[in-house]
């Protein structure tokens, strides 16, 4: 059985691509066959975050148009054998993605016995975002504890409940999860940032992960190595937990509190 | 800045954010899922009513409710109070 998971948010810049890359790596590291697809047609980015930008020959739209076979366009990850990337096209043609085209590509991946297909949605609620979520079985809604991100997420939840294959055909709907990123426990403690509980209460969804704000996320994207592979990073551990929860493990949320700093650290900074 | 203000607690911005979101999200959820013609229907009904009675635009409420496969369109108009004769 192949499970199709959309990583979406509405608002841009909240960490969809970072999350798609890390979740895909985490699943592949557990031996699952994973394909991660960039739906942001025109603005290809997932390849950079995955570190395979120089190996893109064919893209998503090439496969849809029949310019190449699906296998030719799937880029095999150099680190994880079961992980594959399908890059977005850089075409400016807004109609390059079609429902039928996307369905054919997904069917091809299902026939190829992939365990997971991660759809990295573009920001907004236009066609790319619509098609990224349309065939999903599950949705990971990435949200920052910030007003505009939370409001946009709620809008996306509305679309997931009404404009997806599962909701239209009454197949029990899309299973939805929240994933908070850029979480800053110190600011939450000071009352300057909404807490996990606040966001959970407003959106009324279960939380699959909380990723603390971390300099490691930028370093990882600089290097083209998904942050989940940064061994000593809290952000990596948080993504690893989220992957485990996605697979049904029950783990308590971590990194919700500021790490206790010793006397010297407090005196001399660091 | 007076010395006292150092001790006075600042309004907690996270709770302001939460309260604002709670209200706007509830409002947007309420209008979601209805057919796209609902706002236009509301406007046109208002125009018709306006021909006969001078009502406040806010006094016309349209609600769509779904129950057991039925959709009920509920229209309520609060008429202005009659001036005493």
**Residues B35-71: tens digit of each pLDDT:** 677 778 878 888 888 888 888 777 777 777 766 677 7
Put simply, whether B17 touches A (Cβ < 8 Å) is yes
CA distance B13 to chain A (A): 5
pLDDT at B66: 67
Mean pLDDT, rounded, for B23-34 = 78
A208: part of which helix (H) or strand (E)? strand A207-212
Q: Report CA torsion sign: A223, A225, A230, A231.
A: negative
pLDDT at A29: 97
Cβ-defined contact of A155 to B28 (cutoff 8 Å): yes
Cβ-defined contact of A146 to B17 (cutoff 8 Å): yes
Cβ-defined contact of A154 to B25 (cutoff 8 Å): yes
pLDDT at A255: 92
- pLDDT above 60: residue A160: yes
Alpha-carbon distance of B19 to B16, in angstroms, equals 5
pLDDT at A7: 97
Alpha-carbon distance of A10 to A86, in angstroms, equals 22
CB of A134 closer than 8 Å to CB of A164: yes
CA A36 to chain centre: 9
- pLDDT above 80: residue A173: yes
Mean pLDDT, rounded, for A5-16 = 95
Q: Structure pTM?
A: 0.83
Q: A99 by DSSP, 3-state: which?
A: helix
CA distance A216 to chain B (A): 26
- pLDDT above 60: residue B6: no
CA A75 to chain centre: 18
């Amino acid at each position: 059985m192949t499970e199709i998971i959309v990583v979406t948010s509405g608002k841009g810049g909240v960490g969809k691509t970072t999350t798609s890359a890390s979740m895909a790596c985490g699943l592949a590291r557990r031996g699952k066959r994973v394909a991660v697809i960039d739906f942001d047609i025109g603005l290809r980015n997932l390849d950079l975050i995955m570190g395979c930008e120089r190996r893109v020959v064919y893209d998503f739209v090439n496969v849809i148009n029949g310019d190449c076979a699906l296998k030719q366009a799937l880029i095999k990850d150099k680190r994880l054998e079961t992980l594959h990337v399908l890059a977005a096209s850089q075409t400016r043609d807004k109609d390059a993605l079609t429902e039928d085209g996307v369905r054919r590509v997904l069917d091809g991946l299902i026939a190829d016995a992939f365990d997971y297909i991660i759809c990295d949605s573009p920001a907004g609620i236009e066609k790319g975002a619509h098609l990224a979520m349309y065939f999903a079985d599950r949705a990971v809604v990435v949200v920052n504890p910030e007003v505009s991100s939370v409001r946009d997420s709620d809008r996306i939840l509305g679309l997931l409940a009404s404009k997806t294959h599962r909701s239209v055909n009454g197949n029990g709907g899309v299973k939805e999860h929240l994933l908070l990123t850029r979480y800053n426990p110190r600011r939450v403690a000071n009352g300057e940032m909404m807490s996990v509980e606040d966001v959970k209460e407003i959106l009324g969804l279960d939380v699959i992960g909380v990723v603390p704000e971390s300099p490691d996320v930028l370093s990882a994207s600089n290097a083209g190595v998904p942050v989940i592979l940064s061994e000593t990073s809290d952000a990596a551990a948080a993504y690893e937990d989220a992957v485990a929860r996605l697979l049904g493990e029950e783990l308590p949320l971590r990194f919700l509190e500021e790490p206790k700093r010793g006397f010297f650290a407090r005196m001399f900074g660091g | 800045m007076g010395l006292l203000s150092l001790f006075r607690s600042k309004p907690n911005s996270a709770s302001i954010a939460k309260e604002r979101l709670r209200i706007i999200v509830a409002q947007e959820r309420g209008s979601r899922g209805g057919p796209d013609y609902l706002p236009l229907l509301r406007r046109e009904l208002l125009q018709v009513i306006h021909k006969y009675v001078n009502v406040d635009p806010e006094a016309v409420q349209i609600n769509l409710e779904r129950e057991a496969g039925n959709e009920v369109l509920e229209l309520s108009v609060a008429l202005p109070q009659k001036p005493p004769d």
